[in-house]
Amino acid sequence: MEWQDRGLIIGVRKHGESSIILEVLTRAHGRHMGLVRGGRSRAMQPILQAGNSVDLTWRARLEEHLGTFIVEGDRLRAAHLMRSALGLHGLHHLAGLLRLLPERDPHTELWRIAEILADQLDDPTLGPVLMLRFELALLAGLGFGLDLSECALSGATKDLVYVSPKSGRAVARSAGEPWRDRLLRLPAFLLSEEHEADSNQLADAFRLLEHFLTRDVLAPRGLAISASRAAFQTAAENGSTRTAAAIAST
């Protein structure tokens, strides 16, 4: 069997003296692994880094076999991302999220969003916003999507500022006011194409998505929110504060 695809590298591990096992999220074949012969060579090491996008040819005698990859580099962004705390922690967190996807189960839209996110991970304005939107899309891709289209109590479609921690449905300001202390805040940028958010909005979004990621995805697998997500959140909120201060001083 053989196929060609494009993939975002999630991770690598050594295999034997000179080879590696490569883990990628591919456009059409989902999260996939394969053996790269000679993957530990000097020529291949800069290419086979988490965060890079590569062109792949996979070959195996049977579909269920591990198979082998032939890899050609495309967007080699890993070294650049590792130069900042935001990029480094974001890269580790993104890889961890992608490993939650079932192996060999296609998620083309999540692959597309992950590619866009990887390009912007170290941008203090875009990176955190895109990461949070990716977490929202991941929940939907795993079957736990939030319903943010209308108020669960009144059916209103405007001024949605809360989310029910039980149902995952949006709640309008007026309808949710009596229970605001029990509801999760819904930052407006998650409902729009807005690419900027201040540190308070980011904190609300991280808290909102952490609740549902933990309850619906991580806890049933015996997992918890990773240290890399917490570190990325800290770097994101600090970066947001610095960005806002820079804008205010101009």
CB 163 within 8 A of CB 197: no
If asked whether residues 142 and 92 sit together in one domain, one would say yes
CA–CA gap between residue 18 and residue 36 (Å, rounded): 9
Q: How many domains does the chain have?
A: 2
Which domain CATH number covers 66? 2.40.50.140
Q: And the tokens for 213?
A: 């990621």
Q: Write down the pTM of the prediction.
A: 0.92
Q: 19-72 pLDDT, tens per residue?
A: 999 999 999 999 999 999 999 999 999 999 999 999 999 999 998 899 999 999
Domain that holds residue 27: 2-76
Q: Is 161 within the bounds of a domain? A: no
Of all residues in the chain, what percent carry a pLDDT higher than 90? 91
Q: φ and ψ at 126, to 5 degrees?
A: -85, -40
Q: 139-179 pLDDT, tens per residue?
A: 999 999 999 999 999 999 999 999 999 999 999 999 999 99
Q: Is 171 within the bounds of a domain? A: no
Q: Is 101 within the bounds of a domain? A: yes
Question: How does 101-134 read in b/e, with b if 16+ C-beta sit within 10 Å?
Answer: beeeebbeebbebbbebbbbbbbbbbbbbbbbbb
- Looking at residue 246, its pLDDT comes to 43
Q: Is 40 within the bounds of a domain? A: yes
DSSP code at position 193: S
